[in-house]
Chains A and B, each alone.
Chain A
């Protein structure tokens, strides 16, 4: 049986041990039992139960796609569902890339516009119905075809990015699907990572509105319990096509409070906690817990407002601020759960520009560039909007105070405008040239920098598909050219070469504040085994076991 169960027994022993507090509080000592319904008898034969304290404020929807950002994909989507492709998350050496999943293989036409997917045979959904080409078409219709009976407005809106380059799709036969793109596009298999395949039979039965309560995919786990706002239980699906995973169960709890996640881990309620407070690391190590930190595509890269002065057309000013940042000092403040960024992506990432040193911490140079940019110390006050919360934003309050001090050291005053996560997202949609937001000079950004090549679009590209202007007014022909050419290359190394050129330009022109990379801090109790920490927001659960000690 899983550890949380055993720890509960420990706790009960403690209680029965006569701790007076409990008795005073009037707690029924005998009434407390295991919370998990798993059977204890066959403990040795199974992989145990993994209980996870997520940083999300709610259980992500088990919809296709899920919500709550990549936490939804990480814990819910990838476990309940398969997509046509899946990242190789079971290694930590390289950036994970798409591998065959429900699609056994695929062929891309010479012009990179037509993709033909050969589907895996014999795959069944959790409800027993068969996965086939119709199921793929069904899901694409749900996301793209407004006239389709089961078209889902909400899923279509949420998943628009992932089907944006899809023009036409058809089932060639029962196990072959042909997708035509709107333009030469070598990254469709990246997009399709996110397009999960739900059971058409279930959707036809319960409808889109009630689907969440009945989520059914082909993935490694079945959803066996879902209480919105409270918990979700995922149980191993023994007929998962690669063979069953080790774990019996995964139990998810939402907990946006870092201190509470920590207590949940310490009290044995969970054996996996996302992002505990950085200052708890030493204590956790002393307790024998496993601390995980690993570089992955996530950074804090604030964006300059390039629609207007002072940053529009003033490369030296942007460079000056980049030189002013004491990144190591900032990392120290957050107990080194992150590290200073040289570029938008981390060193070692395939898109990292090899011959660009980026910006060091150089106050003298910063001051000199500030002066050359036309501003004397004390002349410039900039307004920076940042979010105070939302998972994946590291530790904004501490970091912003440091940034303010760093800028002050070169004679630039910073007015901090804290805002809710929703507002920050709204600004991204409205653009910094809209009336509501044009007072902001710099905007906090926490991109999954380089997790997928498609992700660069929204922040780098000026001429974006669909016609929306870049939110910060970044409009650089070199960047646009390289970002346009990259997905038109058949070979991955050629794609990366263009993306490196794009990075090189973005760094040289200092279009962002290249600030911090996150190290993806998470903690697990000692009994969680075989966890591999990939260079990704997503993780692989298939090999993990939880051993009773």
Chain B
């Protein structure tokens, strides 16, 4: 098990290097320059050059990457001149915000998705199944920003039930929890829909497996049979949940923008649009790392619950 973990972490290294190189190249190719946000619109070429020099932009690309990579290996993700803060400091703040939102969204979305998927899968073709199908299809089809604006307009703007966002926890847990409701609802919708669909499909799939007949033939109650089915269906659900949690931890630009929730998505988006290379690099690195870790955790959990996977993993 330990060897597996170490091997997977080592496997992540080339992924992270690859991601950072690709991001570095992409950022250098897109039009628009980081210094645009730092100089006035009548800046002279000399003034522009001075700030480019200060940012290190006058160095050749490979050297710039090398400098960045060496620092990153030493745990120094650099300083964002555009944000006037340490990148690690920015990441810490953003990741913390996103984590809270992602954790609550994941718990809410996955739990509800499991429940709905279970209800639909065990009552295939019945009204419940149809309702869940429509609901989850809706959840998948409605763009989250549209849902967010809708929720915002109605529940916050008109009914004034919830604040329109903001993630400052120093105003107390009550406010923080209230602030979470709308972003969680908008963010968890897709997770819920996907989980419900996957759960339903997995349950339907498992129900058609031969062993279900064995269970029935040996006289298990329907509840007993469903427990077996659920346990078997959990594996594909877990895989999708992992991906969903990864996506949630990457942060949603739209949900974070609309609800003024300064997390990873917003940080990355702002950094890209201002060509803030250090922050883009740091953010993608953390997001990639998050995915690697989550995939590892999912695999480990899966191996723990499914003996068939165990052989394949180790």
B258 and A63 within 8 A (CB): no
Residue of A153, A254, A260 contacting most chain B CB atoms (<10 Å): A260
How many contacts A-B (CB < 8 Å)? 185
Are A229's CB and B160's CB within 8 A? no
Cα distance, A141 to B258, chains bound together (Å): 41
Contact indicator A154/B42 (Cβ below 8 Å) = no
Q: Would you call A266 and B175 a contact (CB within 8 A)?
A: no
Asked if A278 CB lies within 8 Å of chain B CBs, one says no
Q: Tell me if A230 and B164 are in contact (CB < 8 A).
A: no
Chain A CB within 8 A of B51 CB:
yes
Judged by a CB distance under 8 angstroms, whether B259 is at the interface is yes
A231 close to B (CB within 8 Å): yes
Residue A10 at the B interface, CB < 8 A? yes
Could you tell me if B42 and A260 are in contact, using CB atoms closer than 8 angstroms?
no
Given the interface contacts A61-B84, A231-B168, A256-B257, does A11 sit within 8 Å of B161 by beta carbon? yes
B32→A420 contact, CB < 8 A: yes
A41 within 8 A of B: no
- Inter-chain CA distance A307–B101, complex, in Å, is 51
B270 touches A467 (CB 8 A): no
Which of B41, B44, B51, B84 is the one whose CB lies under 8 Å from A425?
B41
Cβ-defined contact, A157 with B50, below 8 A:
yes
Segment among A30-38, A78-86, A347-355, A496-504 that sits at the interface with chain B: A30-38
Q: Could you tell me the distance between the alpha carbons of A419 and B185 in the complex, rounded to whole angstroms?
A: 32
- Chain A residue at smallest Cβ distance from B84: A212
Q: Please indicate the chain A residues that have their CB under 8 angstroms from the CB of B42 in the complex.
A: 160-161, 164, 457-458, 464, 466, 468
Q: Mark B163-184, 1 if CB is under 8 A from A, else 0.
A: 1111110011111011001000
Q: Are A27 and B181 in contact (CB under 8 A)?
A: yes
Complex contacts, B274 vs chain A, CB 8 Å: 422
The residues of B that contact A257 with a CB separation of less than 8 Å are 257-258
A21 at the interface (CB under 8 A from B): yes
Say whether B153 contacts A230, CB under 8 Å: no
Interchain CB contact under 8 A, B160 and A426: no
How many angstroms between the C-alpha atoms of A10 and B161 in the bound complex? Answer: 10
How far apart are A103's CB and chain B's nearest CB, in angstroms? 23
**Taking each of A32, A161, A423, which has the highest tally of chain B beta carbons within 10 Å of its own beta carbon?**
A32
In the bound complex, do residue A153 and residue B270 qualify as a contact, i.e. CB atoms below 8 Å apart?
no
Check A229/B266 contact, CB under 8 A, given A67-B37, A153-B50, A161-B42. Answer: yes
Q: Say how far A363's CB is from chain B's closest CB, in angstroms.
A: 34
A33 CA / B174 CA spacing, docked (Å): 7
Q: Is B14 interfacial (CB-CB < 8 Å)?
A: no
Beyond A21-B161, A429-B33, A436-B31, is A31–B174 a contact (Cβ under 8 Å)? yes
Set of chain B residues within 8 Å of A160, measured between Cβ atoms: 39-40, 42-44, 47
Q: Does A271 contact B (CB under 8 A)?
A: no
CB proximity of B31 to chain A, nearest CB, Å: 5
Q: Do A30 and B44 touch (CB < 8 A)?
A: no
Report the minimal beta-carbon distance from B66 to chain A, rounded to whole angstroms.
23
Once the chains are docked, how many angstroms separate the CA of A468 from the CA of B254? 39
Residues of B within 8 A of A28 (CB): 173-174, 177
> Taking A33-B172, A63-B84, A256-B257 as contacts, is the C-beta distance between A267 and B39 under 8 angstroms?
no
Given A31-B174, A230-B168, decide whether A11 and B41 contact each other with a Cβ distance below 8 A: no
Judging by beta carbons under 8 Å apart, are B45 and A467 in contact? yes
B122 nearest CB across to chain A (Å): 24
Bound complex: CA A267 to CA B179 (Å): 12
Contact B161 A458 (CB under 8 A): no
Q: In the assembly, what is the distance between CA of A136 and CA of B201, in Å? A: 72
User: Across the interface, do B31 and A426 meet the contact criterion of CB distance under 8 Å?
Assistant: yes
Do B153 and A263 have beta carbons less than 8 Å apart?
yes
Q: A429 touching B93 by the CB < 8 A rule?
A: no
Give the complex CA separation of A228 and B93 in angstroms. Answer: 9
Tell me how far the C-beta of B158 lies from the nearest C-beta in chain A, rounded to whole angstroms.
Answer: 7
A5-17 contact mask (Cβ, 8 Å, vs B): 1 or 0: 0010011001100
- CA distance in complex: A256, B164 (Å): 14
Q: Within the assembled complex, what's the spacing in Å between the Cα atoms of A209 and B85? A: 8
With CB as the reference atom, state the residue of chain B lying closest to A420. Answer: B273
A467 near B44: Cβ-Cβ < 8 Å: yes
Bound Cα distance from A297 to B159, whole angstroms:
37
> Are A260 and B81 in touch, CB under 8 angstroms?
no
Write the B186-205 contact mask toward A (1 if CB under 8 angstroms, else 0): 00000000000000000000
Is B181 a contact of A157 with CB atoms below 8 Å? no
Chain B residues with CB below 8 A from A64, complex form: none
Residue of A nearest to B149 (CB): A259
Are A227's CB and B168's CB within 8 A?
yes
- With a CB–CB cut-off of 8 A, which chain A residues contact B270? 57-58
Q: Are A228 and B32 in contact (CB under 8 A)?
A: no
Which chain B residues lie closer than 8 Å to A161 at the CB level? 40, 42-43
Once bound together, how far apart are the Cα atoms of A67 and B90, in whole Å? 18
B260 at the interface (CB under 8 A from A): yes
CB distance from A29 to the nearest CB of B (A): 9
Q: Look across to chain B and name the residue whose beta carbon is closest to the beta carbon of A253.
A: B260
A32 and B178 contact, CB distance less than 8 A: yes
CB distance from A37 to the nearest CB of B (A): 9
Known contacts: A22-B161, A31-B177, A153-B54. The answer to whether A263 contacts B84 by CB under 8 A is no
A342 to B36, CA, bound (A): 30
A421 at the interface (CB under 8 A from B): yes
Given A33-B172, A158-B38, A11:B160 Cβ within 8 A: yes
One of A22, A67, A466 near B46 (C-beta < 8 A) = A466
B157 is an interface residue with CB less than 8 A from chain A: yes
Residues of A near any B CB (own CB < 8 A): 7, 10-11, 14-15, 19, 21-22, 25, 27-28, 30-33, 35, 57-58, 61, 63, 67, 153-154, 157-161, 164, 209, 212, 227-231, 253-257, 259-260, 262-264, 266-269, 419-423, 425-426, 428-429, 436, 457-458, 464-468
| Closest 6 pairs between A and B when the two form their complex, measured CB to CB | A31-B174, A466-B44, A458-B42, A229-B262, A266-B157, A423-B32
Q: Give B contacts to A, CB under 8 Å.
A: 31-33, 35-48, 50-51, 54, 81, 83-85, 90, 93-94, 149, 152-153, 155-168, 171-175, 177-178, 181, 185, 257-260, 262, 266-267, 270, 273-275
16 other contacts beyond A260-B152, A260-B259, A467-B44, with CB at 8 A cut-off? A11-B160, A25-B185, A32-B174, A33-B175, A35-B171, A57-B270, A157-B43, A157-B50, A161-B43, A228-B93, A231-B168, A259-B258, A263-B152, A264-B260, A266-B160, A267-B162
